[in-house]
Amino acid sequence: MADQPQSARCPALFLAAPSSGAGKTTITAALARNFRQQGKVVRVFKTGPDYLDPQILAQASGEPVEQLDMWMAGEAYCQQKLYEAALEADLILVEGVMGMFDGEPSSADLAARFSIPMAIVMDVKGMAQTAAAVALGLANFRDDITVAGLIANSCGTERHAQLIRDALPPELPLLATLPRDPDVALPERHLGLVQADEVREELELRFNRGAEWIDGNAITELPSEVEFASAEVKPAEPLLSGKRIGVAKDAAFSFIYDANLRLLTEMGAEYHFFSPLTDSELPDVDALWLPGGYPELHAAHLSSNKPMLEAIQAFHRQGKPVLAECGGFLYCLQTLTDLEEQQYPMVGLLTGHGAMRGKRGCQGMQTAQLPEGDVRAHAHHRSRCFAMDEPIAHGKRQRHPAPGEPIFRDGSVTASYLHLFFPSNPAAIAAIFSGQFEKCGAHTE
């Protein structure tokens, strides 16, 4: 908008760690809830293509949570989202992903690009002075980042904390010491944290317990301010004007980027949620989006909802567009075998079968090389598909020459394990949902 400033300043802190499993999400949620209880507006961002952590952090902060990934979304997108948050927030928190230098781009790359000071979150169980040595090494590994200090998670006693504090140099203070507390740790399952809607009341108790944690053990003053400049991103063209899109959303299908929904609206579409678990009919729509989620946990229920299966099959026979991602892709196959090795009939829009495979899986950033254009995406699944027709394309892995996830098209259905980030190519997404795509492998009956 013309009357908005070109930049905005806001206190900001980037929470990173030496590795996954250090407690970043638990501590970020506790900080967000603590400052929210102080009456502050806290905007939280999550690094990388994550669905579950943002659900948790949105409940803790009471504000929407955006994913930031400079490869998937682009620098300008990330810059604009931080700027917009700075216009309204009293505090910005960014949770990193994996280890602080892992990935391309890494958490450290994102923090360096936007000059956000980092706090190192470390699980210090089983070490004392060594924690200081590791933190000091991380802080000095690159000269383009600023590290505000160390947050020592799973710290046993005050003596334990003092040993770490005394070993740290003055320029790298101990910001917080937090005990191992099972009443604060967040519940998990095979793909990560449990969805927030499944355990909302339990999470409230854990957030409030975490906020008490912060009061007694951590700095509760705002960090230093950071200046965030506007990227002046151009608005999306109305390529889906007048289109109505049905979006599956329930306990089985919930891996939905808010950025994707927002883009559909910006392109002129209306979206309408429906539940493949509980609804008996589809809304009056022109296209369907079946996103990822946990269909394997609800396979029996999905399979028994015959009216919905028949409604989606009829929708497909009319030649209307269907985009299916990961869990939605499994739902479109003929059968799905769950974690207990029970096989259930699914919608059957595509030839082939899906089956869970325990802890083995695939994850990583890929470009979906669709006939309509390249779309940035990622994969994260612990299942396999087999007895499929030939794919129309494959994903291109970010850092490996091997072919990525297969992409299938049968008539008006486009399906893959890939989770697409719509803003990376709005024109391609508009072509898919409007049915203006190459109809490879047309289905005949």
Q: How many CA atoms lie within 13 A of 390 on its CB side?
A: 4
For the chain, the farthest-separated pair of C-alpha atoms sits apart, in whole angstroms, at 74
Q: Which of 253, 207, 152 is nearest to 26 (CA)?
A: 207
Q: Which two tokens stand for residue 298?
A: 């609800």
> DSSP per residue over 285-325, as a string?
-SEEEE-EE-GGGSHHHHHH-HHHHHHHHHHHHTT--EEEE
Residues 6+ apart with CB under 8 A from 279: 305, 308
Scanning 94-240, the segments in alpha helix (DSSP H) are 107-113, 129-139, 158-167, 200-217
d(CA 186, CA 85) in angstroms, rounded, equals: 26
How many other C-beta atoms are found inside a 10 Å radius of the C-beta of residue 259? 18
> DSSP per residue over 329-340, as a string?
HHHHSSEEE-TT
d(CA 246, CA 398) in angstroms, rounded, equals: 31
User: What's the distance, Cα to Cα, between the start and end of the chain in Å?
Assistant: 52
Q: How many CA atoms lie within 13 A of 83 on its CB side?
A: 17
Between strands 244-248 and 270-274, the pairing is: parallel
Residue 353, CA distances (Å) to 247, 289, 382, 384, 441 in order: 23, 20, 14, 8, 17
Beta-ladder partners of 6 = none
How many other C-beta atoms are found inside a 10 Å radius of the C-beta of residue 351? 14
Buried b (16+ CB within 10 A) or exposed e, 52-79: bbbbbbbbbbebebbbbbbbbbbeebbb
Q: Give catalytic residue positions.
A: 326
d(CA 72, CA 77) in angstroms, rounded, equals: 10
Beta-ladder partners of 147 = 118
Q: Which two tokens stand for residue 424?
A: 């990376």
Q: Which two tokens stand for residue 434?
A: 């409007």
